[in-house]
Amino acid sequence: MTNMKVLKKTKQKPMLGDIFSFQILDGKFHWGRVVSLTANVGGFDNCVLIYIYETQTEDSDEIPALTTSDLLLPPIATNELPWKKGYFKLVDNMELKREDFLPVHCFKSVLRGTYFDDKGNQLDKAYEPCGINGLDSYRSIDDKISEAIGLELAPD
């Protein structure tokens, strides 16, 4: 069970530059973007690296401005299940420009207390926003989004 609603299941794999919407509150759509398909995070290769934005709209096809200054969460490494299960709905694909990326993708190893980039290289320090060095499922993404917007977590 999740707070996110099923919008449209697909067998199509996410692609670099994909812009997707998802719904967690009735009448409001949130937005995300695929920024890498080759991330190495937490020892997992070829992760889908996504940004989740704070911006909300009332229409699922009305793409708002998506900027790195408007991130709801640090970058998240995941797999294709959020799309296959229908939680993330592809809206458009737009070429990524330099300004669409954070300068550094940073992930903290909770076990070691060290920091890594999206290629698995150790960093000298934390760079904000800094995520967790591991692979997130659609359930853990749902929990992170719910916490960030002040919703109770979905029951297990």
What pLDDT, on the 0 to 100 scale, is given for residue 121?
A: 97
Stretch 53-75: mean pLDDT, rounded?
94
Please determine, for residue 136, whether its predicted confidence score (pLDDT) is greater than 90. yes
Please determine, for residue 82, whether its predicted confidence score (pLDDT) is greater than 90. yes
Q: What is the distance between the alpha carbons of residues 67 and 116, in angstroms, rounded to a whole number?
A: 23
Q: What is the mean pLDDT of the chain?
A: 96
DSSP for 55-104, written as a single string: EEESSTT------GGGBSSS-EEE-SHHHHTTSSEEEEE----GGGS-S-
Please determine, for residue 156, whether its predicted confidence score (pLDDT) is greater than 90. no
Percent of the chain, pLDDT > 90?
94
Q: What is the distance between the alpha carbons of residues 86 and 46, in angstroms, rounded to a whole number?
A: 21
Contact 86, 11 (CB under 8 A): no
Chain position carrying tokens 């530059």 = 17
What pLDDT, on the 0 to 100 scale, is given for residue 27?
A: 86
Cross-strand partners of 89: 21
Contact 75, 102 (CB under 8 A): yes
What pLDDT, on the 0 to 100 scale, is given for residue 76?
A: 98
pLDDT in tens, 56-66: 999 888 899 99
What pLDDT, on the 0 to 100 scale, is given for residue 61?
A: 81
What pLDDT, on the 0 to 100 scale, is given for residue 80?
A: 97
Please determine, for residue 79, whether its predicted confidence score (pLDDT) is greater than 90. yes
Q: Which of 4, 43, 32, 18 is nearest to 134 (CA)?
A: 43
pTM > 0.85: yes
AA letter at 31:
W
Please determine, for residue 26, whether its predicted confidence score (pLDDT) is greater than 90. no
Please determine, for residue 25, whether its predicted confidence score (pLDDT) is greater than 90. no
Chain position carrying tokens 């300004």 = 99
Question: For residue 122, what are its two tokens?
Answer: 């150790």
